[in-house]
């Protein structure tokens, strides 16, 4: 079975977990992504705020059962 990654908001959150969720999905450092996001928001006349709110609404939250399934799949393989 192929390991499927899902883009979800993270429980490692500062506001809504959007930046941390994106960082987890791509394997990046969440703090570095947050800094890049803040800089990009300032240099784009705060368009990043609108994008963040849209992602907050669209991205599903991480379910508690997600980690359990991952651990069980790792034990079986």
Domain boundaries, the chain: 28-59
Contact 22, 42 (CB under 8 A): no
- Torsion angles phi and psi, residue 76, rounded to 5: -80, -20
pLDDT score of 2 more than 80: no
CA distance 41 to 8: 21
Residue scoring higher pLDDT (21 or 65): 21
| 6-64 tens-digit pLDDT | 888 988 888 999 999 999 999 999 999 999 999 999 999 999 999 999 999 999 987 76
Q: What Rg do the C-alpha atoms of the chain give, in angstroms? A: 14
């Amino acid at each position: 079975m192929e390991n499927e990654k899902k883009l979800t908001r993270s429980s490692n959150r500062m506001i809504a977990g959007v930046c941390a969720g994106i960082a987890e999905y791509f394997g990046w450092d969440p703090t570095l992504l947050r800094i890049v996001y803040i800089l990009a928001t300032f240099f784009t006349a705060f368009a990043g705020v609108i994008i963040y709110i849209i992602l907050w609404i669209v991205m599903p939250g991480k379910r508690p059962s997600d980690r359990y399934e991952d651990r069980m799949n790792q034990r079986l393989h």
